[in-house]
């Protein structure tokens, strides 16, 4: 190495202001990249880190974010293979399939989907049930249980009904053929709330694909990354935190790279504006 190169390098280490403009800018952006990545459960890849930075008003090219993440050794999580979690009850009578694998809704509280998944802990297996509003993919109910009894999926439904208070006969609840969801108690509670039941007709994972997608995100972004789990209490607390982050912060591609809560807020704001315009005219 030429002496001039060495002394120039040494001078830049002593005084960072002597470094190139790009190097100084990279240092500043690297701090922001690391902050956004850590603030979002360390699960975002370059795409979502870049989108979140732009949402915060930090203008930066995606290729720059990707380059800085590579330099910092940061990467997003990768989904594993799908695993079926509920066992179909072939003997139980099934409601009609009102969804036919079309998991779309025009408004909140039009279509909910439900499913549960398994979590291994030092104290044994736990079972985590979710109820998801399809419109914005918002998790509206959840419960952690030590058993696979109907009670825990019913508790998740009760939470969703209490928090959302859907209009009678305006909501469809969809699930797969799991015995818990076909139980008499679960069916009676849906009828009591004026919710129309729907059950997948073909008996495979695609019957309830959206709910299984949310299960997969939960396992990938939380459960697998923080394993091993010691107790039910630790899983419950972490699930509570993850659900809040998922609903209010996580960027979801199918709804335009915004959080579910923001998508619902946008819907109700636009609805209010249309109503106000109609009244004025």
pLDDT tens, residue by residue, 216-242: 999 999 999 999 999 999 999 999 999
The reply to whether CATH 3.40.50.720 applies to domain 111-261 is: no
pLDDT value of position 24:
84
pLDDT: which is higher, 255 or 276:
255
Q: Quick one: which of 41, 52, 51 has its CA closest to 76?
A: 41
In the chain, the percentage of residues whose pLDDT exceeds 90 is 76
Q: State pLDDT tens for residues 11-61.
A: 555 556 656 778 889 999 999 999 999 999 999 999 999 999 999 999 999
Averaged over 136-158, what is the pLDDT? 97
Ranges of CATH 3.30.420.10 domains, the chain: 111-261
Query: Is 80 exceeded by the pLDDT of residue 99?
Result: yes
Averaged over 134-152, what is the pLDDT? 96
Does the CA dihedral 101-103-106-109 come out positive or negative?
A: positive
Q: pTM for the full model?
A: 0.89
Query: Is 80 exceeded by the pLDDT of residue 4?
Result: no
Identify the three-state secondary structure at position 178.
strand
Partners of residue 199 on adjacent β-strands: 175
- Phi, psi for 106 (deg, rounded to 5): -85, -15
Query: Is 80 exceeded by the pLDDT of residue 94?
Result: no
- What are the residues whose beta carbons fall under 8 Å from the beta carbon of 229, sequence distance 6 or more? 119, 120, 121, 122, 126, 223, 235
The mean of the pLDDT values for the chain is 90
Residue 142 CA to residue 268 CA, distance in Å, equals 24
Partners of residue 143 on adjacent β-strands: 129
Q: Which two tokens mark 20? A: 């190139």
What CA dihedral angle connects 77, 83, 86 and 88, to 10 degrees? Answer: 150
pLDDT value of position 165:
95
Q: State pLDDT tens for residues 190-223.
A: 999 999 999 987 667 788 999 999 999 999 999 9
What's the order of all strands across the beta sheet hosting 138-145? 138-145, 124-133, 111-121, 171-175, 195-199
For Cα atoms 271, 257, 255, give the angle at the middle one, nearest 5 degrees: 45
Identify the three-state secondary structure at position 38.
helix
- What are the residues whose beta carbons fall under 8 Å from the beta carbon of 175, sequence distance 6 or more? 113, 114, 115, 181, 197, 198, 199, 200, 208, 211
pLDDT value of position 281:
72
Going along the chain, which residue ranges are E strands?
A: 111-121, 124-133, 138-145, 171-175, 195-199
Identify the three-state secondary structure at position 230.
coil
* Beta-sheet pairing, 124-133 with 111-121: antiparallel
């Amino acid at each position: 190495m030429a002496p001039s190169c060495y002394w120039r390098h040494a001078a830049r280490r002593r005084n960072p202001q002597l470094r190139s403009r790009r190097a100084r800018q990279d240092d500043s952006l690297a701090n922001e990249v690391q902050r956004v990545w850590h603030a979002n459960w360390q699960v975002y890849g370059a795409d979502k880190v870049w989108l979140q930075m732009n949402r915060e008003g930090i203008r930066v090219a995606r290729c720059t974010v990707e380059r800085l993440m590579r330099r910092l050794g940061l990467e997003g999580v990768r989904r594993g293979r799908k695993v079926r979690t509920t066992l179909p009850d072939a003997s139980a009578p099934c409601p009609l399939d009102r969804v036919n694998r079309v998991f779309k809704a025009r408004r909140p509280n039009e279509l909910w989907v439900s499913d549960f998944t398994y979590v291994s802990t030092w104290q044994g297996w736990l079972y985590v049930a979710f109820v998801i509003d399809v419109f914005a993919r918002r998790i509206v109910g959840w419960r952690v249980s030590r058993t696979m009894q109907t009670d825990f999926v019913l508790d998740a439904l009760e939470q969703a009904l209490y928090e959302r208070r859907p209009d009678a006969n305006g909501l469809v609840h969809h699930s797969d053929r799991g015995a818990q969801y076909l139980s008499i108690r679960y069916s009676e509670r849906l009828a009591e709330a004026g919710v129309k039941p729907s059950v997948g007709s073909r008996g495979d994972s695609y019957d309830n694909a959206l709910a299984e997608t949310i299960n997969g995100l939960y396992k990938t972004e939380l459960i697998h990354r923080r394993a091993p789990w010691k107790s039910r209490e630790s899983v419950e607390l972490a699930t509570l935190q993850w659900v809040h982050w998922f609903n209010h912060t996580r960027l979801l591609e199918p709804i335009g790279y915004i959080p579910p809560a923001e998508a619902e807020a946008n819907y109700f704001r636009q609805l209010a504006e249309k109503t106000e315009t109609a009244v004025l005219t």
